[in-house]
A and B are shown apart, each in its own frame.
Chain A
Amino acid sequence: MKNLKEISTRLEIAKKKIEKNDQKEGSSNAASLGKALKISTELVAAVVVGTTIGFLLDSWFDTKPLLIICFFFMGVTAGILNVFKLAKKMNEKISKLRK
Chain B
Amino acid sequence: MATNPMHQFEVYKIGPEINFGGINLSFTNASFFMTLSSVLILLLLFFGTKKKSLIPSKIQFITEMSYTFVAKMINDTAGNNAKSFFPFIFTLFMFVLFSNMVGMLPYSFTVTSHIIVTFVLASAVFLGVTILGFIKHGFKYLELFVPKGVPAVLLPLIIIIEIISYLSRPVSLSVRLFANMMAGHTMLKVFGGFVISLGLLGGWLPLGFSIALTGLEILVAFLQAYVFAILTCIYLNDALNLHH
Q: Using a CB–CB distance below 8 Å, which chain A residues touch chain B?
A: 4, 7, 30, 33-34, 37-38, 41-42, 44-46, 48-50, 53, 71, 74-75, 77-79, 81-82, 85, 89, 93
Across the interface, do A79 and B55 meet the contact criterion of CB distance under 8 Å?
no
Q: Using a CB–CB distance below 8 Å, which chain B residues touch chain A?
A: 54-55, 76, 157, 160-162, 164-165, 167-169, 171-172, 175-176, 179-180, 219, 223-224, 226-227, 231, 234
Chain B neighbourhood of A37, CB < 8 A: 176, 180, 223-224, 227
Using A7-B55, A30-B219, A37-B224 as known contacts, say yes or no to A49 and B234 having CB atoms under 8 A apart.
no
Q: A42-B168, A81-B161 are in contact. List 16 more A-B contacts (CB 8 A).
A: A7-B55, A30-B219, A37-B227, A38-B176, A41-B176, A42-B172, A44-B172, A44-B175, A45-B175, A46-B164, A74-B157, A79-B168, A82-B168, A82-B172, A89-B234, A93-B76
Main secondary structure of the interface of B (DSSP, over half): helix
Across the interface, do B226 and A34 meet the contact criterion of CB distance under 8 Å?
yes
Docked Cα-Cα span, A44 to B96, in Å, equals: 22
Across the interface, do A78 and B179 meet the contact criterion of CB distance under 8 Å?
no
Chain A neighbourhood of B168, CB < 8 A: 42, 45-46, 48-50, 75, 78-79, 82
Docked Cα-Cα span, A37 to B54, in Å, equals: 39
Using A37-B180, A44-B172 as known contacts, say yes or no to A50 and B223 having CB atoms under 8 A apart.
no
Can you list 8 A-B contacts (CB < 8 A)? Answer: A33-B223, A44-B175, A45-B171, A45-B175, A49-B167, A53-B167, A74-B157, A74-B160
CB proximity of B218 to chain A, nearest CB, Å: 11
Main secondary structure of the interface of A (DSSP, over half): helix
Across the interface, do B227 and A38 meet the contact criterion of CB distance under 8 Å?
yes
Q: Which of A45, A71, A75 contacts B172, CB < 8 Å? A: A45
Across the interface, do B179 and A41 meet the contact criterion of CB distance under 8 Å?
yes
Across the interface, do B223 and A34 meet the contact criterion of CB distance under 8 Å?
yes
Docked Cα-Cα span, A53 to B160, in Å, equals: 11
Across the interface, do B219 and A77 meet the contact criterion of CB distance under 8 Å?
no
Which 10 residue pairs are nearest across A and B when measured between Cβ atoms? A45-B172, A46-B168, A78-B165, A78-B164, A41-B176, A45-B171, A45-B168, A49-B168, A41-B172, A50-B164
CB proximity of B216 to chain A, nearest CB, Å: 9
Docked Cα-Cα span, A82 to B161, in Å, equals: 10
Query: Which chain A residue has the least Cβ–Cβ distance from B223?
Result: A34
Across the interface, do B231 and A81 meet the contact criterion of CB distance under 8 Å?
no
Query: Which chain B residue has the least Cβ–Cβ distance from A54?
Result: B164
Docked Cα-Cα span, A37 to B226, in Å, equals: 11
Chain A neighbourhood of B165, CB < 8 A: 46, 78-79, 81-82, 85
